[in-house]
Amino acid sequence: MGSIGGAELPKIEKMQTASAREEKILVLVRLRPLNEKEIVANEVADWECINDTTILYRNTLREGSTFPSAYTFDRVFRGDCSTRQVYEEGAQEVALSVVSGINSSIFAYGQTSSGKTYTMMGITEYTVADIFDYIHRHKERAFVLKFSAIEIYNEGIRDLLSTDSTTLRLLDDPEKGTVVEKVTEGNTKELEPSKGLLSVCEAQRQIGETVLNEKSSRSHQILRLTIESSAREFIGKENSTTLSATVNFVDLAGSERASQSLSSGARLKEGCHINRSLLTLGTVIRKLRDSKLTRLLQPALGGNARTAIICTLSPARSHVEQTRNTLLFACCAKEVTTKAQVNVVMSDKALVKHLQRELARLESELKSPAPASSTSDYAALLRKKDIQIQKAVVGPHPNQQAGHLWEDEYEDSGSNMAEPYHLQDNTDDHSVSDGTSSLMSIGKNIVRSNSCQSLEDTAVGPAEDIDDYCKEVQCIEMDETARENKFEPHSISTGENEATLALTMFGASGLQISTPTSGHREVSRMQNGFTYDMLEQRLHHVQRTIDALVSHEPDGTSPPTLATDMSSSRSMKLTRSWSCRENLMTGSSPYLGKAEQIESTPPNGFDKQLFWEAGQSQSIKTSADGDIPSIQTFVEGLQEMAKQEYEKHLVDGQGGQHQGPSKERNAKQADAEEASNLREKFDANKHVEDLDAIDRMIAEGEARYNKWRHPDPYIVPWAPGGSKFTRNPTPPAGIEILYDYGREDND
Ligand SMILES: Nc1ncnc2c1ncn2[C@@H]1O[C@H](COP(=O)(O)OP(=O)(O)OP(=O)(O)O)[C@@H](O)[C@H]1O
């Protein structure tokens, strides 16, 4: 039996370790019975589940219709299936991954009154009950549960556990990802009577009246449960580890188009926001895009999470178009891949050792300016990226000889380079599902290696593996002589975490593209000397941090002493979170609008980088922990900065405002490739009867998508800053459009 930190691992993990890692989103379809209104209106039920995986459209009048009549998914549920059945035979396995340290999300998607809330209330209730049951059966582990509930209404976020109706902001936290600022976190006791809590949330939820559903919910609701657990016998010990994961229950607003619910005025505006979010969600199936909903749920849409989507349908003939749209969305969702990991948080002591090893490696880098063996990889990567950007912006390198050499290198390694627009669209913490993983995403996985253990890694003897990993980190002792003489070559250079270091180097290199007004652009600050200068600065910075942590001297002036008891650092007063600090250091975050950036709080007598808001640490607090600064957070903060800088360069150089013709070509090519991939996937779908109809839908979808992506001067659906339309294109026949072409407001 596997264990982490000596305790038994959840059974579910053992189930998953063999098969999980990269997996498709689980797509479930739930057909509800005709409701009273529909029965009174003599509605006909046109949809039928013919087995556990296929739903069929049975309209005898459909002769000549070009739409497919059969759709196949992971599981379909008939109108007479109970929610418990939907849970046990569908969402349960994904939802309960959370007790194994694996993030999970369950979405409900469908038109208004199709049964999303009805389904999600049950799913949430059953999941919470199972989690408590699990906790009661695993006394050997200590659990901490946190619970939050928000709604997103008109792109404003509201806390459903608070009576305060102020809208909350989203923050990009290097450790936790995108988080809602100041959201109320309920504790275990409040959670236990989950039914009560859920109805409070439901009552709080924004409800508007529409023709379709008198109680129609016009907002997205996200209930989030975070579970952390540690083996009791290891708590407070050096090699203690913590599993930490969240499960999201997402009840989306109705997906129907605004016109069908006769929306107008304020309601139309709501409809626009809802449709925008849903459009975005749909688009996320192809590309990760921006809305509050998708920012918050990005990990569930292609990142470190297991995800299930329950698409709810009305069988009524009058809703056939919406039902088809929902099924189309479900077909797209089937193609989304996520890459879940077990999230293991290491103890701070182990992280100090890890930092020290990084430091040793950086020292070694500094002493080996001539690239050799592993270091040549970083230098080569840096040069290749330089060439890539330069090619995009200025064409051939001014130095013909060097330019040719570099270009050759670039050509050779082209397949390793992520597509610019691929990178641009995966700006956060998301493992990319295809093999072209950007350097950023590779780096992130390795960066997170001290906090995330992949399922593959834990597949055989998870306990031993993780403990061994901790031991391995711990056994690399810092050579004090080398610490005092920082610029002597250091023998510890294992070659591990190459991508991490490469990222750090990119982050440190100050790689910049200047765009002189003369019209000719040049790449500057790319000399090795500069890179090493920055690297050296970074090295000092890391060294100071370690010294300060180890010596527990507020100004870091005391000589570092490894023998110092690490626990002494726990009395440090920490006053600011990492996300604030990051803004202070980088000036701005590429992810946050100005309004969303926090004013930095002046540091309080200690190393500027080490202020940590008490209570913000994600780790489980044990009696021994107190208000410890998270060294891991520090490391990840550094790496996040590096990642952001790197991404910023990519955006500036390849996909952003300075997009050159060659990049435009790349983007077009990427679009074309994507379209052809999509077509192949649909062609390969043998379950769909009418391939011609699918072809047509794909072509229409592509046309719409391209129009959205490359808007002409007249149609600017969601251009930054918003824009008015001067003409209203006729929607393509066949598929209803989830977003509203008539939108005129600036959000
Ligand atoms: N599978 C089902 N079996 C029986 N009744 C159902 C089922 N699904 C939904 N209903 C009923 O249909 C009505 C509408 O359901 P619900 O409120 O869950 O829809 P919704 O999709 O959440 O709508 P909205 O988007 O407006 O929030 C409710 O009265 C609910 O009890």
Residue 235 has pLDDT above 70, yes or no: yes
Please check if 167 is assigned to a binding site.
no
Question: What does the pLDDT read at residue 473?
Answer: 25
Is 430 strand, coil or helix? coil
- Quick check: 86 and 127 in contact, CB under 8 A? no
The CA distance from 431 to 499, in Å, is: 14
Residue 616 has pLDDT above 70, yes or no: no
Nearest to 120 by CA among 274, 248, 1: 248
Nearest to 332 by CA among 689, 702, 722, 610: 702
- Quick check: 743 and 274 in contact, CB under 8 A? no
Which of residues 178 and 406 earns the better pLDDT score?
A: 178
Find the mean pLDDT for residues 458-477.
29
DSSP at 525:
S
Of 89-103, 587-601, 682-696, highest mean pLDDT: 89-103
**Domain 3-344, CATH 3.40.850.10 — does that match?**
yes
Q: Measured from the CB, is residue 78 less than 6 Å from ligand 1?
A: no
How many helices (H) and strands (E) would you count in the chain?
24, 21
The CA distance from 437 to 363, in Å, is: 28
Question: What does the pLDDT read at residue 482?
Answer: 33
Residue 509 pLDDT grade (very low, low, confident, very high; cuts 50, 70, 90): very low
Secondary structure of 529-560 in HEC code, one letter for each residue: HHHHHHHHHHHHHHHHHHHHHHHCCCCCCCCC
Cβ–Cβ contacts within 10 Å for residue 513, how many?
22
Question: What does the pLDDT read at residue 151?
Answer: 86
Question: What does the pLDDT read at residue 313?
Answer: 94
Find the mean pLDDT for residues 544-556.
49
Question: What does the pLDDT read at residue 441?
Answer: 25
Q: Measured from the CB, is residue 512 less than 6 Å from ligand 1?
A: no
Write phi, then psi, for 141 (nearest 5 degrees). Answer: -115, 145
Q: Measured from the CB, is residue 210 less than 6 Å from ligand 1?
A: no
Please check if 618 is assigned to a binding site.
no
For residue range 631-674, list pLDDT tens digits in order: 445 445 555 555 565 555 455 444 334 444 455 556 666 666 76
Secondary structure of 614-675 in HEC code, one letter for each residue: CCCCCCCCCCCCCCCCCHHHHHHHHHHHHHHHHHHHHHHHHHCCCCCHHHHHHHHHHHHHHH
Q: How far apart are the first and last CA of the chain?
A: 53
Residue 597 has pLDDT above 70, yes or no: no
Residue 149 has pLDDT above 90, yes or no: no
Written as six digits, the tokens of 7 are: 């305790």
- Quick check: 315 and 45 in contact, CB under 8 A? yes
On the CB side of 611, CA atoms within 13 Å amount to 18
Ligand 1 pocket mutation, candidates 82, 113, 201, criterion most atoms within 8 A of CB: 113
Residue 454 has pLDDT above 80, yes or no: no
- Quick check: 685 and 68 in contact, CB under 8 A? no
Place of tokens 């290749």: 384
Written as six digits, the tokens of 488 are: 């002597």
Write phi, then psi, for 713 (nearest 5 degrees). Answer: -60, -15
Return the ligand 1 atom nearest residue 121 CA: 18
Ligand 1 pocket mutation, candidates 29, 117, 210, 323, criterion most atoms within 8 A of CB: 117
The CA distance from 603 to 608, in Å, is: 6
Report CA(115)–ligand 1 centroid distance (Å): 3
Instruction: List, in order, residues 6 or more apart from 84 with CB less than 8 Å away.
Output: 122, 126
Residue 711 has pLDDT above 60, yes or no: no
Residue 126 has pLDDT above 80, yes or no: yes
Please check if 114 is assigned to a binding site.
yes
Nearest to 119 by CA among 205, 226, 225, 31: 31
Q: Measured from the CB, is residue 116 less than 6 Å from ligand 1?
A: yes
The CA distance from 304 to 579, in Å, is: 20
Return the ligand 1 atom nearest residue 79 CA: 1
The CA distance from 710 to 702, in Å, is: 11
Q: Measured from the CB, is residue 630 less than 6 Å from ligand 1?
A: no
Find the mean pLDDT for residues 47-63.
82
Q: Measured from the CB, is residue 112 less than 6 Å from ligand 1?
A: yes
Question: What does the pLDDT read at residue 33?
Answer: 95
Residue 314 has pLDDT above 90, yes or no: yes
Asked which of 53-57, 195-199, 301-305 is least confident by mean pLDDT, the reply is 195-199
**Cα 28 to Cα 68, 88, 108, 110, 657, distances in angstroms:** 18, 12, 9, 12, 40
Q: Measured from the CB, is residue 558 less than 6 Å from ligand 1?
A: no
Which of residues 526 and 382 earns the better pLDDT score?
A: 382
Evaluated on CA atoms 444, 449, 450, 454, the torsion sign reads positive
Residue 64 has pLDDT above 50, yes or no: yes
Q: Measured from the CB, is residue 110 less than 6 Å from ligand 1?
A: yes
Ligand 1 pocket mutation, candidates 118, 215, 263, 275, criterion most atoms within 8 A of CB: 118
Written as six digits, the tokens of 404 are: 């040719």
Residue 419, sorted as left (phi over 0), alpha (psi -120 to 50) or beta, turns out to be beta
Strands 341-345 and 452-454: antiparallel
Question: What does the pLDDT read at residue 112?
Answer: 86
Average of per-residue pLDDT values in the chain: 57
Predicted-complex ipTM score: 0.98
Side chain identity, residue 149: A
Return the ligand 1 atom nearest residue 83 CA: 1
- Quick check: 268 and 262 in contact, CB under 8 A? no
Write down how long the chain is.
747
Question: What does the pLDDT read at residue 682?
Answer: 55
Q: Measured from the CB, is residue 217 less than 6 Å from ligand 1?
A: yes
Q: What percent of the chain has a predicted confidence (pLDDT) above 70?
A: 34
Which of residues 297 and 729 earns the better pLDDT score?
A: 297
Instruction: List, in order, residues 6 or more apart from 639 with CB less than 8 Å away.
Output: 174, 443, 444, 447, 500, 503, 504, 507
Residue 444 has pLDDT above 60, yes or no: no
Q: Measured from the CB, is residue 462 less than 6 Å from ligand 1?
A: no
In 126-275, DSSP assigns E strands to 141-153, 156-159, 170-173, 177-180, 220-231, 242-251
DSSP at 174:
T
* Domain boundaries of the chain, sorted by first residue: 3-344, 346-655
Residue 47 pLDDT grade (very low, low, confident, very high; cuts 50, 70, 90): very high
